[in-house]
Amino acid sequence: MGRRFSDAEALLSHLLDRREDGIADPTARPDFSPLDNVSEIDCFVRRLEEAESAGAIRIVKGRGRDSDQIKLVRLQDTVRLYDLLGRRPVAELAAAATERLRDRLDVPQVFDTHIAAIRATWSRGKEWQKLGMADVERLRTALLFAKAILEQKHRGTDYRTFSRKVAGDSKALERLEGAVVRLLVPALELPPGARPRDALRTLGLEKFAPPLLLAGRLDFDSAELSLIRPAYFGIPPQEASRIRLRETPRYVLTIENYASFHRHIAEADRDGTGVTIYVGGYPSLATQDALRALAGLVPDNVPFFHWSDIDPDGAWIFRTIERIIARPLRPHLMTPELAEAFGRAPDDPSRPPRQAENTAIAALITYLSSEGAKWLEQEELDPAMPV
């Protein structure tokens, strides 16, 4: 049943809106009850009759005793109704807005698919990432941010400085984070379920880099921190090269979750026989650089492990660490069997991680990509020594 209107112009515009939404045969119904007098009703009916005479609509009346009453209005000719209302087709407006979006911008080819999607979304009268045709300038700025990130121009700068250099406004990126991250997918592999701010942090765009937390028989320059048991310490990630090994560790374990990090060093490895590192969820670019430096410090015969949630984001974190340390990385307490035994179906599944070869979690990625896969938060498991 079509919507009811007490304003003729609103009714006619609604017919076009529905057609632009893809409705093949849009209809609408008049509602005379809010009108105050016969004169207003006559004006309403006269406007509809004019549109019918122009061939834009068809008025459908009732039957029997209601044969003189307008039952509904049906769109007859879209072009004629556009002309009658002095309105341009939304597809035409979307094409013009897209041209303004690209005007004098050297847009990388990798964004062409997104721009086509933006035009298609606008052609349906919808917003793309909360940006409509009236927001062309804001979307141009988002394209500039995404282009600068692809060109690595954000490296070595903090979040606000990067925003100011690209847009002349230190807070512009905050207002456009969602659109910028969406533009960067799939040009860059970003955490599948991360908030835009967290996704940008993995690329190095953050206001302040969080400290790197470590536990084990480690010293920092002349400070003999390895003598304190059990304990951990935090350093700026960029100072990771100043860490010294008191002795060769039995293993290196990176952990996504803060509670699991604490429990592991307090319950599973109180003697600090391994090196345990808290990566802070999605590892920031500074943390990634620190892990790369630590991987170069540890002898080749020491195994590296990672412990994350068993879900698409945990798989993304594992593969990120695996890539940056450039040495074999083994999953710790991350198996399909554990997920099946203790996990649950996700409430809001995010996109599965990309298939990957030459990775120790290939089987887990295949499992997470399958229908009915369960997810498991690592806090649900008790800590254990890596095997």
Say if 207 falls within a structural domain.
no
| pLDDT at 176 (0 to 100) | 97
| pLDDT at 210 (0 to 100) | 82
* 354, 335: one domain: yes
Say if 24 falls within a structural domain.
yes
* 125, 13: one domain: no
Domain boundary among 85, 115, 147: 85
| pLDDT at 224 (0 to 100) | 82
| pLDDT at 117 (0 to 100) | 96
DSSP sequence for 213-260: EEESSEEETTB-GGGSSS-EEEE-GGGGGGEEESS--S-EEEES-HHH
* 177, 243: one domain: no
Residues 171-174: contacts with CB under 8 Å, at least 24 apart: 172/141, 172/145, 173/145, 173/200, 173/205
Say if 302 falls within a structural domain.
yes
Low-confidence winner among 82-91, 146-155, 223-232, 246-255 (lowest mean pLDDT): 223-232
* 49, 80: one domain: yes
* 330: amino acid identity, one letter: R
Q: Is the per-residue pLDDT at 19 higher than 70?
A: yes
Q: Is the per-residue pLDDT at 137 higher than 90?
A: yes
Band of the pLDDT at 319, cuts 50, 70, 90?
A: very high
Domain boundary among 85, 114, 149: 85
* 29, 117: one domain: no
The per-residue pLDDT of the chain, averaged, comes to 92
Q: Is the per-residue pLDDT at 368 higher than 80?
A: yes
Say if 200 falls within a structural domain.
no
Give the pLDDT mean for 35-58.
Answer: 93
The packing angle between helices 90-102 and 136-150, to 10°, is 40
Q: Is the per-residue pLDDT at 351 higher than 70?
A: no
Two structure tokens written together for 275: 């090196």
* 350, 372: one domain: yes
% of the chain at pLDDT higher than 90: 75
State the Cα–Cα distance between residues 227 and 305, nearest whole angstrom.
24
Give the pLDDT mean for 262-273.
Answer: 94
| pLDDT at 226 (0 to 100) | 77
Low-confidence winner among 199-203, 216-220, 353-357 (lowest mean pLDDT): 353-357
Say if 199 falls within a structural domain.
no
Contact 91, 79 (CB under 8 A): no
Strand partners, 212: 235
Contact 154, 162 (CB under 8 A): yes
* 232, 360: one domain: yes
Give pLDDT tens digits for 54-77: 999 999 998 888 888 899 999 999
Domain boundary among 42, 68, 85: 85
* 262, 305: one domain: yes
Say if 205 falls within a structural domain.
no
Contact 30, 44 (CB under 8 A): yes
* 130, 250: one domain: no
CATH number for the domain spanning 334: value is 3.40.1360.10
Domains in the chain, number: 3
291: left (phi over 0), alpha (psi -120 to 50) or beta: alpha
Band of the pLDDT at 349, cuts 50, 70, 90?
A: low
- The domain containing residue 54 runs over which residues? 3-85
Give the pLDDT mean for 134-159.
Answer: 94
Band of the pLDDT at 223, cuts 50, 70, 90?
A: confident
* 142: amino acid identity, one letter: A
State the Cα–Cα distance between residues 330 and 377, nearest whole angstrom.
18
Give the pLDDT mean for 131-153.
Answer: 96
Band of the pLDDT at 2, cuts 50, 70, 90?
A: low
Say if 255 falls within a structural domain.
yes
103 in helix, strand or coil?
Answer: coil
* 301, 376: one domain: yes
Nearest to 122 by CA among 78, 90, 162, 157: 90
Three-state SS letters, 256-283? CCHHHHHHHHHHHCCCCCCEEEECCCCC
Say if 130 falls within a structural domain.
yes
- pTM comes to 0.73
* 172, 302: one domain: no
* 66, 135: one domain: no
| pLDDT at 156 (0 to 100) | 81
Q: Is the per-residue pLDDT at 355 higher than 70?
A: no
State the Cα–Cα distance between residues 124 and 131, nearest whole angstrom.
13
Terminus-to-terminus CA distance in the chain, angstroms?
65
